[in-house]
Chain A
Amino acid sequence: MDERAPCDVTAIITAHNEGPLIGLSLRSLLDAVDFARQSGLEVEIIAVLDNPDDSTRVAMADAAEHGCRVVEVAYGDHGLARNEAIRLSAGRYLAFLDGDDLWSENWVVDAFGVCETDPGRVIAHPAINWIFDNGSYCYFLPDQTDPAYDPAFLRVANSWDQLCMAPVEVHRAHPYHRRELDRGFAYLDWTWNLETIEAGLMHRTVPETLHFKRRRATSQFTQARANRSLPFPSAMHDYAWWAAHEG
């Protein structure tokens, strides 16, 4: 880990080939960070560009002027790029944003508040994912404390994406997998959710917060789906785990 001054939150934007769209995402991130700083939070900003194309690199050329530390890596893998961001972070909590998505202005400060209700054990998600471009829909994320929510749902479908805020120690204890599309294993977020629930962490939603997620034909989700991928094997797929955790 870098020797950097500790802070409350590291806001991380990851990108690859988003081109000028990353400017919109950075604009939204900066607004949410300003809002959080006005509330007294100390926030650092890191951008991790993984094998960026020229247009993305050019789009981020002046990011440092906005207080954003830009790091280039060459993994060609979202999970490993995120792990690098985690390694570089000085925040107690980390919040990820994909390079073509947007946060609602209140995301950082309100998510921090929810995480602090049980420090080290809560992973915060927005209440609403607003999917736009190439078709619109709303996904209301479930809160694990809702009595109606059954984690068994995770055996057959994912509940939360990766644009969450989580304690840095959770990220360090549960780094992301490298995608293995040839073996049919992908869905890094789904896998991470399974692992963190197995570890006893709690996925909560933050009222009245939104993530605006652009739907792209070439998204990781679309690729994984077309490839009939599955999340990596998990104890939660095993009936024995459920038998041991029943009651």
Chain B
Amino acid sequence: MRSIRRRGRVAEKVPAADPRVALEGLLPEIPRDRIGEVWSRLRACTHPRFYAAQLSAEELAPYGGRLDLDSTVAHYLAHGARAGKRPSVIFHPQTYADRLAERGLRLPDGAVPFLHWLSVGWDARIVPTPLFDEAWYRKKHPQIVRAWGFAQYVDRGLYEPQWRPSPLGRHHAGMSVPNAAQEHAPLLLPEMLHRAADHDLTRTSWLEEGCLRALETCATLRSPRVQDLIAKAAAIEPLIEEGVESGLAVTCPPYRAPRLFMAEQAEALRRRVGMTHVDTVVVVPDLTAATIAGVAGQLAAALREAEPAASVLLAAADTAAETEADASRGAATSAVPGLPPGIDVLDLGPFAVGFDEERRVDLLLDLVRGLTARRIVTAGSRVGWRLLAAYGRQLSTAASLGACLEPPERTEQGNLVGFAVKEFQEAFADLDWALVTTAELAADLINRYLLSGSLRQRLVTAYAEDGTSDADGSARQIEAAAVKRIVADGERREEQQRG
């Protein structure tokens, strides 16, 4: 069920009054000596970014647009509770009402459902969300010693990737996020906030709706007919029922599946891009001024000049974004200072919120295939290198592949950073060319890899002299011979495909 998110109009900051007093006022029936306990639970279950997503820009303005835990709790108790806002990703009002009803209980008139759960439902160990399955959690994580697994999930499971809460999945990509617990930012937040504009977040979300539909689908497993069919098959092959007692994981597209969120984002990206073809995609780590001024931007400009009729897109693949709300900055646009006209840029970060590197690579793969790019270049992007290392074989059947190589640098900690050595080793066989920014690096590669004559020819020198900028800091132009060579490789590749 979908409805448009409603936004309040309250814009004043929360009064400085003690929020605990406000909590007492909202829970008149609770003995005063229990308020401290409910207060602790409230704080443990509050998730500022989820709550903030239910507020308008005007409501957030007094907080500088961002709530922390204290201000979220205070705002909720002062305004949100009575307005029906949800401060917690693990409280789904309808699920709570349904599970109360299963026990013959109902919400008292005038009660705030979330606070009722904190003060009453918690003690009855009612799980108020379709995202979590207590029996499953205990089977899959027998090391949990707390009597109620859900309480452990609230404290730790929401923030650490190893805790799978449900047969329906983890509800996130499985990646650790620094400071998630300190910031009360659950790993499932990107999926909770997906398509936020399509859902009334005070009641439900894309993730919860998917879980509810998946649970309905799973219920068919319990039908007498299906049970009979399973029993008949197991009579032939007993292994069919082996392991079932420890819990069956479930994949249920289009409601819940490991790559469902990624597929949604890939499609959102396609719609946002708005183009159906780009001749050259240059994959860069970001769209900072340094990147634009560096070899990637220079190459894009040179290709644009050499092939005026051919389109060029700079795609930033390594950037991070907190929410899909940032997706407007992901749009393809030409308005980037330092780039000549006719070169589009795209930031994949807002479409990769919560993605691990594998999913980022797959998102980029979908983009370059979708745009039927005839030339794909990685220039300093970790994800770009991974793309060529993983899928260079396949991409090279339809596109000319290239890479920009800059000398690795040693960090203060002594680590070597720069182009990805392992990925270079995996991808080099599929590259038509590698644009090398210094003669020293070219010599080093030739020497260490004992490059044969034909492999040596793949190294293209970018500049007559070393470095991407002149002594005065201005950007250099890539040598005409290098550009000519890259263009020729592309033409040769197209000729081969036509043949």
Give me the interface of A with B, judged by CB distance under 8 Å: 24, 27-28, 31, 102, 104-106, 127-128, 130, 132-133, 135-140, 142, 146, 148-150, 152-153, 155-157, 159, 183-185, 207-210, 212, 214, 228, 230, 233, 237-240, 242-243
Contact of B230 among A153, A207, A210, A240 (CB under 8 A): A210
A136 to B243, CA, bound (A): 6
Which residues of chain B in 187-231 are interfacial with respect to chain A, using CB atoms and an 8 Å cutoff?
Answer: 213-214, 217-218, 220-221, 223, 225-226, 229-230
Cβ A102 vs Cβ B233 within 8 A = yes
Contact of A102 among B220, B237, B260, B371 (CB under 8 A): B237
Cβ B237 vs Cβ A24 within 8 A = yes
Cβ A138 vs Cβ B270 within 8 A = no
Of chain B, the residue at the smallest CB distance from A229 is B394
Q: Is B289 an interface residue (CB 8 A)?
A: no
A242 to B366, CA, bound (A): 13
Nearest Cβ on chain A to B90's Cβ, whole angstroms: 24
Cβ B394 vs Cβ A237 within 8 A = no
Of chain A, the residue at the smallest CB distance from B225 is A208
Cβ B249 vs Cβ A137 within 8 A = yes
Known contacts A140-B250, A150-B263, A212-B233; is-contact A128 B240 (Cβ 8 Å): no
Known contacts A24-B236, A142-B253, A156-B262; is-contact A210 B229 (Cβ 8 Å): yes
Give me the interface of B with A, judged by CB distance under 8 Å: 213-214, 217-218, 220-221, 223, 225-226, 229-230, 232-233, 236-237, 239-244, 248-255, 257-260, 262-264, 266-267, 270, 273, 275-277, 362, 366, 369-372, 390-391, 393-394, 397-398
Interface of B: prevailing SS: helix
Known contacts A24-B237, A139-B251, A148-B255; is-contact A183 B393 (Cβ 8 Å): yes
Cβ A153 vs Cβ B263 within 8 A = yes
27 CB-based A-B contacts, threshold 8 Å: A24-B236, A102-B240, A104-B233, A132-B241, A132-B242, A132-B243, A133-B242, A137-B249, A138-B249, A139-B250, A140-B214, A140-B220, A140-B252, A153-B263, A156-B366, A157-B258, A157-B260, A185-B394, A208-B229, A228-B390, A237-B370, A238-B369, A238-B372, A239-B275, A239-B276, A239-B372, A243-B276
Nearest Cβ on chain B to A175's Cβ, whole angstroms: 21
Contact of B220 among A133, A142, A208 (CB under 8 A): A208
Contact of B254 among A24, A150, A156, A212 (CB under 8 A): A150
Nearest Cβ on chain B to A165's Cβ, whole angstroms: 17
A188 to B220, CA, bound (A): 29
Nearest Cβ on chain B to A231's Cβ, whole angstroms: 10
User: Closest 10 interchain pairs by CB?
Assistant: A239-B370, A137-B249, A240-B276, A184-B393, A157-B259, A104-B229, A152-B267, A140-B252, A136-B243, A184-B394
Contacts of B372 in A (CB 8 A): 238-240
Cβ B251 vs Cβ A212 within 8 A = no
A155 to B260, CA, bound (A): 11
Known contacts A142-B254, A239-B275; is-contact A136 B260 (Cβ 8 Å): no
Contacts of A130 in B (CB 8 A): 230, 233, 240
Known contacts A138-B248, A155-B366, A210-B229; is-contact A127 B220 (Cβ 8 Å): yes
Contacts of B218 in A (CB 8 A): 138, 140
Contacts of A242 in B (CB 8 A): 270, 370
Of chain A, the residue at the smallest CB distance from B249 is A137
Known contacts A149-B254, A185-B394; is-contact A140 B236 (Cβ 8 Å): no
Contacts of A157 in B (CB 8 A): 253, 257-260, 262-263
Of chain B, the residue at the smallest CB distance from A140 is B252
Of chain B, the residue at the smallest CB distance from A136 is B243
Contacts of B398 in A (CB 8 A): 233
Of chain B, the residue at the smallest CB distance from A246 is B271
Cβ B249 vs Cβ A212 within 8 A = no
Contacts of B226 in A (CB 8 A): 128, 208, 210
Counting chain A CB atoms within 10 Å of each CB, the highest count among B243, B253, B276, B366 belongs to B253
Known contacts A239-B275, A240-B276, A242-B270; is-contact A137 B229 (Cβ 8 Å): no
A137 to B223, CA, bound (A): 18
Contacts of A212 in B (CB 8 A): 233, 237, 240
A228 to B214, CA, bound (A): 29
Of chain B, the residue at the smallest CB distance from A233 is B398
Contact of B221 among A27, A135, A138 (CB under 8 A): A138
A242 to B270, CA, bound (A): 9
Contacts of A127 in B (CB 8 A): 220
Cβ A104 vs Cβ B232 within 8 A = yes
Knowing that A132-B240, A140-B250 are A-B contacts, what are 9 other residue pairs whose CB atoms are under 8 Å apart, sorted by A's residue number? A128-B226, A132-B239, A140-B217, A140-B218, A150-B254, A153-B263, A155-B263, A239-B276, A242-B370
Nearest Cβ on chain B to A234's Cβ, whole angstroms: 9
Nearest Cβ on chain B to A243's Cβ, whole angstroms: 5
